[in-house]
A and B are shown apart, each in its own frame.
Chain A
Amino acid sequence: MRSMLFTQAIDDALAQAMADNPRIILFGEDIPLLRRNLLVRFGPGRVRGTPISESAFLGAGVAAAMAGLRPVVEMYMVDFLGVCADALLNHASKIEAFSGGKWTAPVVVRVPCGGGYGDGGQHEQSLWGWLAHIPGLTVLVPSTPADGGGLMLAALQHDGPVIFLEHKLLSETWLEFLGSGARSTVQYDVPADGAKGPVPQNWEPVPIGKAFLRRAGGDVTIVSVGVGVHRALEAAQALETEGISVGVLDLRTVSPLDNAAVREVVALTGRLLVVDEDYEGFGLSGELSAVVLEAGISCKYARVCTQTTIPYARQLEDQTLPSKLRICAGVRQLMQ
């Protein structure tokens, strides 16, 4: 089996899809350089740079998708979607409904997200809950190279707008660009299994809306996405020595949620801990409690999320983002 880095895997799956489907084009700021390996294979007609005009080029991506192209629009960081939220909130997500189901906008928005490297609260947000709140948007958050590539392929086959979130802490390319490349004096807590891992010889789509049980456990169920999955796995391992058996469900897709999988694992343990790097209030963690309650499952519930604006200072940042320490404390609380 081949092994790949996170971003490398996503690019590789994207390349496979581009070779199969000439309607896929990529654009975004600095894309000719950032995706240079795709540029030299698919040419400047399909891999294009843009001005810093997110409203224009994301909005154009949505309409180009309606008119038959399969654009992959790249944003520098999910935080900057704030500038062009309208294209998603009022357009991409609404086309299918407004047209009575007769028209869709199959655009893929590929966006780096997440923190853990000291860039502060305007560059390290997760925001998948904010995006998933809007009906009509599919929101993907892979946590491994294999899922990264497989979900990218699924996104490119999906008949509607997809937000594909690429966690920067898993991406060697982003971390090196954002400050670790020129110095060996900084260290980030990069989850090894998320940054590099086995990938298939030939990419197959990973189904959208299907969670994956990364670890079985009988006492507590942790449900998470992205880097949170790896933090949860580390915590689960540590808690094993205390005799607590913790399972970890990787949602992989935030919208649509795999309600069935969540209910199944939580029903078994009766204890749900949500680990979510996104904001705590009005988001994924609360949604998951509703998913369980609506099914009539009674369980103990706790959550480890980001509660405030992410601080710039590394130490404060570590305390703010979900950590192994806080997850272990959350699990112990549920076991009391």
Chain B
Amino acid sequence: MPPDLWTLYALMLKSRLFEEAVAKLWHDGLISGEMHLGTGEEAIIAGVVANLREGDAMALDHRGTAALLMRGVDPVLVARELLGYPDGLCGGMGGHMHLFSKEYLAASSGIVGAEGPAAAGFALAAQYLRPGSVAIAFFGDGAMNQGMLMESMNLASVWNLPVFFVCKDDGWAITTKSVEVTGGGLNERAQGLGVATVEVDGRDVSAVWEAAHIAIERARSGQGPTFLHAHCVHFEGHLLGFPMVRIADHPLREMPGIAIPLTLSILRPGGAPLRDRLAGLRTVVASVLSTMRDPRRDSANDPVARVRATLESVPVRLHELEDQSQKEIDHVFASALMEVPS
């Protein structure tokens, strides 16, 4: 069965429009704390979630909103949760990093790598209670260096658990380039633990759907876990207001606050010889420059725009879908914001 691009696009669009609205609320100060969006990874989430059915579970990371929306959780409840309202999805107790839906067996965590043990446990319960069901773990490339995730892959392997490990690789962990802190290859790691692997372009929703379909069917039929390595970008950088993106967007405004203490520090007596100081400076400059040239900032990598381009041959249907999606999201936020609890 080939993927239905229209359905996948609708899922991705819903999530994108929702998160764009969230970004606005965050900038307006209506959402507190940090905010990590999933904008840029929608093709991965949609390609996987579209393969799920009742009884399947999801372990989510700090970018869990997209997966919950696509799975069918009421967007008004999610919006009201992010706004911290008592009738939000989790009573205003969780916020975006701690979203839970018992109904959909979906649990988030802000602890990097915690999705591994969670998915293994959901899969274990599935083996006893819901045979044929699977558990998904969504996590980033940075999480691949977290011990508990590696241990979970081994556990899933030796217990033949129906887990689909989905690594959304954007090449970064906050300001750290993953290649600089990751030995060996990610696929080889998973293979070394006895987990089957597949690598796809995470900007291509059809490719993800097909890879996910095979892996999830394997898991359902008792053939054990698979690791999906999917490449993507995050347009906002790590979180909303990400300092590195701010520097790239407004160098004149942001640089003095960074450059002045840096210069004072490099000139202070005591410390390393000049050679080492310059090496330090090169590291800082390189990381600022690499943000500026960061592929996550290139709209050509936008998975939503990519799938849209393939649907443009049917413009009437496309515009209808988009108008409808926008209306739905507008309605979601209108109702979410309507009654502010006192």
- Select the stretch in A36-44, A221-229, A279-287 that faces chain B: A36-44
Contact A33 B181 (CB under 8 A): no
Q: Given the complex of chains A and B, what is the CA–CA distance between A15 and B266 in angstroms?
A: 12
Q: Given the complex of chains A and B, what is the CA–CA distance between A311 and B84 in angstroms?
A: 9
Q: Given the complex of chains A and B, what is the CA–CA distance between A97 and B278 in angstroms?
A: 43
- Select the stretch in A45-53, A142-150, A152-160, A232-240 that faces chain B: A45-53
Contacts A42-B271, A178-B33 hold; do A53 and B94 have CB atoms under 8 A apart?
A: no
Q: Which of B44-99 contact A (CB under 8 A)?
A: 84-86, 90, 92-95, 97-98
- Among the interface residues A19, A121, A313, which one has the most CB atoms of the partner chain B within 10 A? A313
Contact A179 B176 (CB under 8 A): no
Q: Given the complex of chains A and B, what is the CA–CA distance between A118 and B240 in angstroms?
A: 14
- Please indicate the chain A residues that have their CB under 8 angstroms from the CB of B255 in the complex: none
The answer, yes or no, to whether A120 is at the interface (CB within 8 Å) is yes
Which of B28, B30, B258, B283 lies in contact with A39, CB distance below 8 A? B283
The answer, yes or no, to whether A177 is at the interface (CB within 8 Å) is yes
Q: Would you give the 0/1 interface string for B158-200, flagging 1 where the beta carbon is closer than 8 Å to chain A?
A: 0000000000000001111000111000000000000000000
Q: Given the complex of chains A and B, what is the CA–CA distance between A55 and B148 in angstroms?
A: 10
Q: Which of A39-90 contact B (CB under 8 A)?
A: 39-47, 49-56, 79-80, 82-83
The answer, yes or no, to whether A29 is at the interface (CB within 8 Å) is yes
How many cross-chain pairs have Cβ atoms below 8 Å apart between A and B?
Answer: 191
- Please indicate the chain A residues that have their CB under 8 angstroms from the CB of B98 in the complex: 120-122, 312
Which range holds the interface residue count of chain A? 35 or more
Contact B246 A181 (CB under 8 A): yes
Contact B84 A313 (CB under 8 A): yes
The answer, yes or no, to whether B276 is at the interface (CB within 8 Å) is yes
Contact B241 A183 (CB under 8 A): yes
Which range holds the interface residue count of chain B? 35 or more
Q: Given the complex of chains A and B, what is the CA–CA distance between A122 and B93 in angstroms?
A: 11
- Please indicate the chain A residues that have their CB under 8 angstroms from the CB of B224 in the complex: none
Q: Given the complex of chains A and B, what is the CA–CA distance between A121 and B111 in angstroms?
A: 12
Contact A178 B265 (CB under 8 A): no
Q: Would you give the 0/1 interface string for B266-291, flagging 1 where the beta carbon is closer than 8 Å to chain A?
A: 10111111011101110110010000
Seed contacts A34-B175, A80-B111; 14 additional CB < 8 Å A-B pairs: A15-B265, A29-B174, A30-B175, A32-B287, A33-B284, A42-B276, A43-B277, A51-B145, A83-B146, A118-B32, A120-B98, A179-B240, A183-B26, A312-B95
On B, residues with C-beta under 8 Å from A are: 26-30, 32-35, 84-86, 90, 92-95, 97-98, 109-113, 142-143, 145-148, 173-176, 180-182, 239-243, 246, 258, 261-262, 264-266, 268-273, 275-277, 279-281, 283-284, 287
